[in-house]
Amino acid sequence: MRIGVLGLQGDFREHLEMLRALGVDARDVRTKEQLHEVEGLIIPGGESTTMAYLLEKMGLLSILRERGAQGFPIYGTCAGMILLARELNDSYPENRLALMDISVKRNAYGRQRDSFEADLHIKDIGEFHAVFIRAPKIVGVGPSVEILAEHDGAPVLVRQKHLLASSFHPELTGDPRVHKYFLEMVTRG
């Protein structure tokens, strides 16, 4: 299976490593051509405004938005989730993919808790130790969105058909089960 990780900014290397450890042909995606070669895409954590700017600059934003609307599997972690959200509490990033029916608040976990760890229970996966880094909070979900895990009453892992998003960073804890879950989505639809 050939999976891409958006390599414009953020912690894409960690995602690539995790996918490779799972035996996947993982590719760094920075151009339209590279995007066409993969069966699914992970958008990493990082700085969503910078990533959105670079996506547009590389001519990837509209193509990815189009493909995502047509069933191309995408998994957004943290900043990646911000780019997938239809609704945002912030005016930036203005230009997003806006593919998922979720409402997201950037940097919403408060100053002292800029970064924290938590044990989650994920549907179909089980107990999962999660790392949150200046995480966005999901404050609303539409009817077509399935909540797979919650923390403190807020959804932190959600799925909408072929789209997956998490407020946390599963690429940082060495536990590959969320990545495996995404690979299943790519294979089985």
Position 87 contacts ligand GLN (CB under 6 A): no
Q: Is residue 117 flagged as an active site residue?
A: no
Whichever of 101 and 171 has its CB closer to ligand GLN, that residue is 171
Position 170 contacts ligand GLN (CB under 6 A): no
Position 134 contacts ligand GLN (CB under 6 A): yes
Angle at the Cα of 143 from the Cα atoms of 187 and 85, rounded to 5 degrees: 70
Position 79 contacts ligand GLN (CB under 6 A): yes
Q: Is residue 78 flagged as an active site residue?
A: yes
d(CA 47, CA 15): 16
Position 103 contacts ligand GLN (CB under 6 A): no
In the set 15, 151, 169, 179, the catalytic residue is 169
Q: Is residue 171 flagged as an active site residue?
A: yes
Whichever of 34 and 89 has its CB closer to ligand GLN, that residue is 89
Position 107 contacts ligand GLN (CB under 6 A): yes
Whichever of 38 and 133 has its CB closer to ligand GLN, that residue is 133
Whichever of 39 and 86 has its CB closer to ligand GLN, that residue is 86
Query: Residue 189 CB, nearest distance to ligand GLN (Å)?
Result: 27
Q: What is the 3-state secondary structure (H, E, C) of the chain?
A: CEEEEECCCCCHHHHHHHHHHCCCEEEEECCHHHHHCCCEEEECCCCHHHHHHHHHHCCCHHHHHHHHHCCCCEEEECHHHHHHEEEECCCCCCCCCCCEEEEEECCCCCCCCCEEEEEEEECCCEEEEEEEECCCEEEEECCCCEEEEEECCEEEEEEECCEEEECCCHHHCCCCHHHHHHHHHHHHC
Position 104 contacts ligand GLN (CB under 6 A): no
Query: Residue 116 CB, nearest distance to ligand GLN (Å)?
Result: 12
Q: What residues line the site for ligand GLN (CB under 6 A)? A: 45-48, 78-79, 82, 106-107, 133-134
So which residues are the catalytic ones?
78, 169, 171
